[in-house]
Amino acid sequence: MGEEKRSFKKKDMPIRRLHDNDEELDQAEGGEFADLFQDSLRQPQSGEVVKAVVVQIEQDVVLVDVGYKSEGAIRIAEFIDENGDLTVKVGDEVNVYFERGENIRGHMVLSKKKADSQVAWETIAAAGEGGVIEGKITGKVKGGMTVDVGVEAFLPASQVDLRPGGNMDRFIGQTYQFRILKLNRKRGNLVLSRRVLLEEERDKARTETLATLKEGDIVDGQVKNIAEYGAFVDLGGVDGLLHVTDMSWGRLGHPSEMVKVGDTVKVMVLKYDREKGKISLGLKQTVPDPWLNVGERYREGERVSGKVVSLTDYGAFISLEDGIEGLVHVSEMSWTRRVRHPSEILKVGEDVEAVILGVDPGNRRISLGIKQTEVNPWTVIGERYPVGTKIEGQIKNITDFGVFIGIEDGIDGLVHVSDISWTRRVKHPGELFSKGQTVQAVVLNIDVENERLSLGIKQLVPDPWEEIPRKYKPGSKVNGKVTSVTDFGIFVEIEEGIEGLIHVSEISYEKVASPKDFANVGDELEAAVLNVDMVEKKIALSIKALQTAMEKAEMASYMGSQGEATSSFGDLLKEKLKKSTEE
């Protein structure tokens, strides 16, 4: 703020000239001259407000001419605004309040602030209680706010706005019209209300709006409040409800995704209940329904682009255009991966490509598939892995019924428990394998339609049962170790992985109460082969038949020593087996 100094000649003053006008003095005669002279010397009285002209601006004071013999001085602080700027310049006319006569510097002591206050009170008094004045909200105090209307007034918090509460800082610095609620100049008490004027304006606008409003009208409104279920829109003194389902033709999670407080929106009056004063509004109804001709724009098999707008447990919603969304079911996201949740593949806001699987305008549904944008690996897997191909991979999972082996990314093959070993009884694959173990297998079958690949481990080696009928013909004697004893018989391992069963009826000619009384696991036993069942892969053994054959062989050997013809042990055993079969 710079200093501005300039002498101001009194002959230029528009008010209260002094005795330097000789022509006027010469014309005055007698009492007229005396009256003029006295008027020129008349000093303003304490408490009087007069007009003054700024004649000089110094560092600490502003000098003004009030038409008296000496100039008046006003503290320069009274001319500085809240931004620190000087509000007057030389030549400006201002109201001043006369406080007292000349000070030690020969200047009258004046005040602009008190003059403004006095003028303001006169204006306020003229308006009276119930009148309207303009003011600027300057700050917050306990219970309300302060307003500058020339003097400081009080604005209760409940009278600031139509809806009291919230952050009142937004009102500071704003200029409004106010209604005078209470006025007491003697006590300096002035209470204002902005709310009363707003209510009057609202009621007036409400009356006008309700008189002309009808269903089907498209009107402008301002969003006043947002809730979970919708937004309240001010149509001009009256609020209508814009439900979330009437905001967009597309999927909308929350009203705030579509509008925000303070927005001006164009809405349609859907329903107007004059008796209850309830108004239902629609935003989406102001534009054509995009689903009306969706079948012309989107056809099955076409590839489309869109943005992921929502993820659920069962799929992802893709926005194809404003108001049109399609659903990618979780099962249509990958040919090979077992997708448990869409977030494993997609994220909200991501741009994706998809293929239209179906269009249902009636139910406003479009089914999409992402995996269809790529070649289904199952359609070509047969070319890469023909039946009989030997593969190698890691065990991905072990279940009660088999082992899953990873063939390539996302494609696993199943080795059923029955295809693990030709000879071993595998109760659970976990007995032989562990997760992550690398194993070899042979491709047994490819089911493209059901996306299944069957593998076998036992097929890596020949089936030992193909040699069993030749190696263990009926009537041959075998040795083996007892592997299991049950109520119905004894299992004997005659070679690695090959077992035969001695049924309880084939243990002895004598009655056996329980096979457990005859043998224990680990015992060595001899028996004769009764038969081999290649279909069931079973070998029936008999101790009883072996004993009979041995007895006959001994008898034949004895008789042979007497010169009689004899049969071999094998022939005798076969004969015994034949009789046992006939019996």
Name residues whose C-beta falls within 8 Å of residue 179's C-beta, 6 or more positions apart in sequence: 130, 131, 132, 192, 193, 194, 196, 197
pLDDT of amino acid 495 = 86
What is the domain partition of the chain in residue ranges? 46-116, 128-198, 213-286, 293-369, 377-460, 469-557
The torsion angle over the Cα atoms of residues 131, 133, 138 and 142, rounded to 10 degrees, is 0
Q: pTM for the complete prediction?
A: 0.46
The CATH number given to 469-557 is 2.40.50.140
Amino acid 28: pLDDT: 46
User: Does the fold of domain 293-369 match that of domain 128-198?
Assistant: yes
Q: Which parts of 473-578 are beta strand (E)?
A: 477-485, 489-495, 498-503, 524-533, 538-542
CATH-assigned architecture of domain 293-369: Beta Barrel (2.40)
CATH 3.40.50.2300 fits 46-116, yes or no: no
Asked: is 377-460 a CATH 2.40.50.140 domain? The reply is yes
For residue range 119-143, list pLDDT tens digits in order: 888 888 888 889 999 999 999 999 9
Strand partners, 72: 64, 108
- The superfamily CATH assigns to domain 213-286 is Nucleic acid-binding proteins (2.40.50.140)
| Segments in the chain below pLDDT 50 | 1-25, 28-29, 563-567
Q: Output the pLDDT for position 11.
A: 36
CA atoms within 13 A on the CB side of 434: 1
Retrieve residue 370's tokens: 């992402």
Share of the chain above pLDDT 70, in %: 86
pLDDT of residue 17: 37
Beta-strand pair 152-156/218-227: unpaired
Q: What is the per-residue pLDDT for 525?
A: 92
Q: Which one-letter DSSP state was computed for residue 45?
A: P
| Residue 151 contacts residue 121 (beta carbons within 8 Å) | yes
CA-to-CA distance for 67 and 18, rounded, in angstroms? 7
Q: For residue 572, what pLDDT is reported? A: 52
CATH topology of domain 128-198: OB fold (Dihydrolipoamide Acetyltransferase, E2P) (2.40.50)
Q: How far apart are CA 445 and CA 456, in angstroms?
A: 10
Please tell me the predicted confidence (pLDDT) of residue 190.
Answer: 92
DSSP characters for 342-386?
GGGT--TT-EEEEEEEEEETTTTEEEEESGGGS--GGGTHHHHS-
What pLDDT score does 32 carry?
57
Cβ(204)–Cβ(156) below 8 Å: no
